[in-house]
Structure 1
Amino acid sequence: MSEVTIHPLADVQSGQIGAGTVVWQFAVILPQARIGTNCNVNCHTFIENDVVIGDNCTIKSGVYLWDGLRIGNQVFIGPNVSFTNDKYPRSKHYPEAFQQTVIEDGVSIGAGSVILGGITIGKGAMIGAGSLLTKSVPAGELWMGSPARFIRKIND
């Protein structure tokens, strides 16, 4: 397994990044973030402190991962996916704890989706591009739309 590759124009403050991971230009990764092995963190991304990313994940451009996000192994997060972590956000008023969002192993989230905080996306689920996900998704299901709804079971 190769070493971590960090583009010279990235701001990587974390020392908890697994071997084989590549971080592209203009990515910002805060000191306490944890990223697994063999991941691809594309340009123009931001990863906050209380974020855990598993192995073999792809984080495409324009994605911001906020405190409380837990991402499993082999997860694909498409470009410009938006996550939230505060149900009632106000400027300069912070909750005692941010909402925790769990993305289980093998999940794919399509480009431009919005994922509200405090939910779980089950193992192997897929979220269609442009979806607004307001509730948890069971394992192995395809959800899409605004708001997102169940479409069908996924057969691997």
Structure 2
Amino acid sequence: MSLFFAHETAVIDEGCQIGENTKIWHFSHIMPNSVIGKKCNIGQNVVISPDVILGNNVKVQNNVSIYTGVKCDDDVFLGPSMVFTNVINPRSAVVRRTEYMQTLVKRGASIGANATIVCGNTLGKYCFIGAGAVVINDIPDYALVVGNPSKQIGWVGEYGHRLEFNEEGIAICPESKQEYLLENNVVTRVK
């Protein structure tokens, strides 16, 4: 008996690891040696390439391709039709399978619909990438970025609300009431 759900149209290759209570929907393809954690939701028409690692509770919306070299920590959200790359200078006639670059998406990060993440970058904990953004460099923890190329326009907390810092560098999330400190252009959650 399977501990995860896969729609009858999903293709799951041998050698995958899929955590319990994960759901894989219509026309998705999970390729060999990929690792998917517990309680993930893999939307329609998703491709997860070999050796990709997804943590627990990762939400992958429809039409997302996650290529070799990508690792997503727990609680990551990948919006509809967002794009990862894994080669910095692709050419159809040049084989670069040995040049795949790593992309790390840290815990709790959200990537909006139709955003593009250029390979070789790290997206910080709980960062928020706006819809349609094109990320070409590392993104700090809790950063809010938008545009092409992406530009940081503020900070967000763990519940996804924009943080407004006072003169002392303190912000309080309006929903969770969690407190955050901005010091030397670095945001940390105050426990």
Aligned-partner residue type, residue 11 of structure 1: V
The secondary structure found in structure 1 opposite 2:17 is coil
Aligned to 2:68: 67
Percentage of pairs with the same residue: 34
2:87 matches 1:86: yes
Q: Which has the higher contact order (CA 8 A, sep 6+)?
A: 1
Aligned to 2:148: 146
Aligned to 1:110: 112
TM-score by length of 1: 0.96
Aligned-partner residue type, residue 79 of structure 1: P
Aligned-partner residue type, residue 45 of structure 1: V
Distance 2:153 2:3 in 1: 41
Q: Structure 2 unaligned segments of length 5 or more: list them.
A: 159-191
The secondary structure found in structure 2 opposite 1:8 is coil
Shift, 1:154, TM fit: 1.4
Runs ≥4 in structure 1, deviation > 4 angstroms? Answer: none
Shift, 1:97, TM fit: 2.8
Distance 1:36 1:92 in 2: 35
* CA RMSD of superposed structures (Å): 1.2
TM-score by length of 2: 0.79
Distance 1:127 1:104 in 2: 12
Instruction: Show the 5 A alignment for 1:96-135.
Output: 96-135=98-137
Aligned to 2:58: 57
Distance 1:64 1:93 in 2: 21
CA offsets 1:84-136 (integer angstroms, 9 cap, x no match): 11011111423323010000000000000011000000001000001111111
CA offsets 1:20-74 (integer angstroms, 9 cap, x no match): 0000010001011100000000010101002000000100001000010010000
Q: Higher Cα Rg: structure 1 or 2?
A: 2
Aligned to 2:167: none
Distance 1:92 1:22 in 2: 37
Aligned-partner residue type, residue 19 of structure 1: E
Aligned-partner residue type, residue 62 of structure 1: N
Aligned-partner residue type, residue 52 of structure 1: I
CA offsets 1:5-32 (integer angstroms, 9 cap, x no match): 0001000114300000000010001011
Aligned to 1:30: 31
Distance 2:6 2:104 in 1: 26
Equivalenced residues, count? 155
Q: 8 Å contact 2:134–2:149 — kept in the other structure? A: yes
Q: 8 Å contact 2:83–2:116 — kept in the other structure? A: yes
